Amino acid sequence: MSTTEMSLEERLESLDRKLDFVVGQMKEYERKQREIQELKEDMSMILRDLFQTASVELDEVAQNFDTRDLLHLMKKLMRNVKNLNSMLDQLESARDLVRDAAPLGKIFFDETLHKLEELDKRGYFTFLKEVSQMVDTVVTSFTADDVRLLRENIVQILLTVKSITQPEMLDLVKNATAFFEKMSIVPEDNVTYLRLLKELRKPEVKRGIAFLIEFVKNISIPDKININKN
């Protein structure tokens, strides 16, 4: 085969490759054209449905809508662009603050749960429950008249409690309690009136009887007792 024939054959092969490439490009172009046409048809249907829906919806508000109101709103928005930007900046700052404060809130929440658990272990909630039940018992055990009488006499009651809680009174009660705990008096089985009369002649018995008489007299006459002394 001569050089001329080989060169011609190579040119033909090159031309075939180019034709195949052109045919392939044409097919690709046709495919894209079909896709574009299908997209146009789909968009046309969507826009038609959208337009019909918008027409129906706008008919419902047509009586309350005025284009001048829309223009006024647009002007107001344009005049307040800076204010809107400032508000958006504040919202972004608030979002950043919430994001930064979230770990602190979690720490505070965990500490609160830990403290509540500790209080529960120490019995605070059980104590409060019992106190609540005690208050409920008191409320259900007293009538409105009882509360009214308590209110009217609360000053006298507090003064009496104040007198009882004075150190000398507490010491007296403590000594009396200790005396009665240690006292072991066993009366004789046969006690005669003569024996009693003899006992009444003793000085300590006379002093005891005098003390009891004075005590009873002062209790029966409250005005003679100065409960505001201390």
% of residues, the chain, pLDDT over 90: 0
Q: Is the pTM of this model over 0.75?
A: no
Residues 195-216 pLDDT 10s: 778 888 888 888 888 888 887 7
> Are residues 158 and 133 located together in one domain of the fold?
no
In a domain, 11, yes or no: no
| Final residue belonging to a domain, choices 13, 42, 63 | 63
Domain that holds residue 166: 148-185
Same-domain check for residues 134 and 71: yes
Task: Return the structure tokens found at 50.
Answer: 């959208």
Q: Are both 129 and 166 inside the same structural domain? A: no
Has residue 227 got a pLDDT over 50? Answer: no
Q: Which residue has the higher pLDDT, 7 or 82?
A: 82
pLDDT at 226 over 70: no
Considering its fold, how many domains does the chain have in total? 4
- Decide if 198 contacts 129 (C-beta within 8 A): no
Residue 20 counted as domain residue: no
Cα Rg of the chain, angstroms: 54
Q: Which of 13-22, 153-162, 190-199 has the lowest mean pLDDT?
A: 190-199
Average pLDDT over residues 94-104: 82
The pLDDT assigned to 75 comes to 85
